[in-house]
Structure 1
Amino acid sequence: MSENLSTTVAALSSNSSGTMELLAACFHVDDAFKYRAYTFTYLLLFPVAFLCNIAALAVFFLQSSRRSSASCVVMMNLALSDSSFSLTLPLRLAYYFRGGVWDFPDWLCRLCVFGFYVNLYTSILFLTLLSVLRWLAVAQPLRHRTLATPTRTLLACLGVWLFVGASSGPFLSNGVTNRKGLPRCFEPSSPSSWGRVLILNYVALALGFLLPFLTLIFCYSRIIRHLTTGFGGDCSSPAGRARLRNRRRSVYLVTMVTVTFLICFLPYHVIRSLHLHAVCDRWRCAITVALQRAVVVTLCLAACNSVVNPLLYYYATRTFRDNMRDAQSSLMHSRGGSIRLGLALLMRRNTT
């Protein structure tokens, strides 16, 4: 690849009007690596993300008694965001299997680009909201009881959808482009559009990542402090043990959310910002290509949050585990009842 890159740079540098062409060459010189990485990631991601999030939604909807929980409302919205994003992965896979040729309508290309950013930032904000609710439940239970009603939580979730949808609206303008005579998707419409993308990046970085991350750190530190210094009473009593278990589950929840931020979201935002500066400021082509590869890897990590969130529901919240067991018991009971009914009808038919 380095030999091809050097040849391309030398050829374009000899041309006085080759600055924009050089930028495009740096951006597309490593397409093979990008296509392989995305194909491998999405092949693994699609079945797991789709099945796990659909199963999570089914558990939440079947257990109607738990829908009165504010945390459950947030988790349902988070699972809805992840399952919706997983539905766009087959289109992305078809594109990369075809070697970067888009065979679908232009509006589907725009929807896929838009859907990635909506999923990314709704996931961040829903996880932050979940951590704030947990902090209120642990540190200020009276305020949690009055503020965190299901109706208010649902309105907050709707606000997140509207805010992220409106903020991600500019990405709907990035549709199908023609390069080398072939229709392409997930590519900038022109090299001059990178300046606008850089501005959008910093808006998203500030409002969509840094502010939620600082909020998360605040909640995490407060919960840890409350657990270590604010717990009193007899821990040997059933009530004391129950309170201690609840607070430890809160720590597990915020810890898992923090790890999700550090693995899925932080690397992508840092590398994306560096890569955009490399493109806009016309850094050396070799550095730009290296950052391009890093963006590909960190974007795959960011997409993996749709698989991590169902683990969050299961391992950090006892109610979800209880709901899943109840749903499984109900399913087995209904299946057993259907089998017994079928056997009874068959025996009756044989005796007549």
Structure 2
Amino acid sequence: MNVCVMTTPITSGNNTSAEMPTCFHDDYAFKYCAYTITYVLLFPVAFLCNVGALVVFFMQSGHRNSPSSVVMMNLALSDGGFSLTLPLRLAYYFRGGVWDFPDWLCRLCVYCFYVNLYTSILFLTLLSMLRWLAVAQPLRHHTLTTPTRTLLLCLGVWLFVGVSSAPFLSNGVTERGGKLRCFEPPDPPSWTRVLILNYVALALGFLFPFFLITACYSKIIQHLTARSSLRTNSASSRARIRNRQRSVHLVTMVTATFLLCFLPYHLIRTLHLHAVCGSWSCDVTVALQRAVVVTLCLAASNSVVNPLLYYYSTRTFRSRMRDAQSSLSLRRASIRSGLALMKRRNTT
């Protein structure tokens, strides 16, 4: 959320406007540099990793329709879709903050960021809940979490986030400094509206999911601790232990993603909006604006963190990755042998 903060008073005649923030600061150099570096690094990794993840999921045949795979496929689709908007953002920042594309593309890029952010949060929450059910209540997990129901839940997440993020479609191209700008609120009154939207998103899109994830994590740890004394050396017991360990790894990685990517952004964004709307001191406001830029880059990086979650938490995903690598190696070997054979024929 890129807000331009004012560090010089805006006056009308001999009076300073009371309706405008008293601080104006166009910190474009820092903002554009940070976003350019971040998106240059994110785009190829996010696009290739998430497209590759979708390919691997589709190769899983029998495991493809498991509830966890359904959620992870939707998560990869969300991250992959967001990565497609990064070239437009890069073109904007490389041009020094000049938007050369249609207005609807600007609105779509803003909208896609928030759709990706909150679908990612909700899909990660759903993954944690599925893992808790699998560990703590395996019978209910098999009866309740069918692939069809999981897919309907995912569609509900897309619909809820898509409709809730619709107000951001109103933030399109604005003219500032004689240039067409994107990704910036058009006028000061919009800051108050953004602050209200921020609290709705904070409550429903971050705090409530984070509470659910924390509850799932504590319940899984509690269940594993209670079961630790019942371990035996049988093969089935060892398999259950491995499954529970993977559950702990999954929820731990999800929690780390929340703490690294989502918590700083929501916290700093809220403080920054209060600084802008409450006319805090310029030094504090400018420092918070730079912090928003940094934490937004962290939030965008969740699109490359999630593929790591697929790899380290899903055994079938790792096996399919190895199968894909061996298949590519075999194809390369066959191509090289074919080229060598043609070369020998041509020489003879």
TMscore range, shorter length:
over 0.9
Distance in 2 (CA, whole Å) between partners of 1:341 and 1:63 is 30
Structure 1: distance between partners of 2:256 and 2:12: 44
Q: Establish whether residue 96 from structure 1 lines up as the match of residue 74 from structure 2.
A: no
Given that 2:10 and 2:16 are in contact with CA atoms closer than 8 Å, whether structure 1 keeps it comes out as no
Mapped partners of 1:9, 1:189: distance in 2: 18
TM-score by length of 2: 0.92
Q: How does 1:1-352 map to 2 (within 5 A)?
A: 9=8, 16-19=15-18, 23=22, 26=24, 28-231=25-228, 233-337=230-334
Q: Helix, strand or coil: the match of 1:178?
A: strand
Q: Distance in 2 between matches of 1:231 and 1:335?
A: 47
Moved more, 311-320 or 257-266: 311-320
The one-letter amino acid of 2:136's match is A
Find the aligned partners of 2:304 and 2:176 in 1 and give their Cα distance: 33
Q: Measure the CA separation in 2 of the matches of 1:62 and 1:334.
A: 17
Instruction: Indicate conservation of the 8 Å contact 2:106/2:183, yes or no.
Output: yes
Unaligned stretches of 5+ residues in structure 1: none
* Cα separation, partners in 2 of 1:233 and 1:99, compared to 1, 3 Å: same
Matched position secondary structure for 1:102: coil
Change (3 A) 1:347 1:248: same
Distance 1:37 1:15 in 2: 38
Change (3 A) 1:65 1:119: same
Spell out, residue by residue over 1:240-278, the C-alpha distance to the aligned partner (whole angstroms, 9 max, x if none): 111111101100110010010011000110111111111
Q: In the comparison of the two structures, how many residue pairs are matched?
A: 344
Range moving further from structure 2, 312-321 or 115-124: 312-321
Measured in 2, the distance between the counterparts of 1:141 and 1:237 equals 19
User: Aligned equivalents of 2:56 and 2:14: distance in 1?
Assistant: 62
Q: 2:262·2:299 contact (CA, 8 Å) conserved in 1? A: yes
CA displacement at 1:29 relative to structure 2: 2.5
**What is the Cα deviation at residue 235 of structure 1?**
3.1
Please give the secondary structure, in 2, of the residue aligned with 1:283: coil
Inter-partner Cα distance in structure 2 for 1:290 and 1:91? 27
Deviations 1:101-134 (A, max 9, x none): 1111101100110000000000000000000000
Q: CA RMSD for the aligned pairs?
A: 2.3
Q: Deviations over 1:294-329 (max 9, x none)?
A: 111111110111111011111122121112112222
| Aligned partners of 2:60 and 2:316 also within 8 Å | no
In terms of fraction of residues, the more helix-rich structure is 1
State the alpha-carbon separation in 1 of the partners of residues 77 and 127 from structure 2. 15
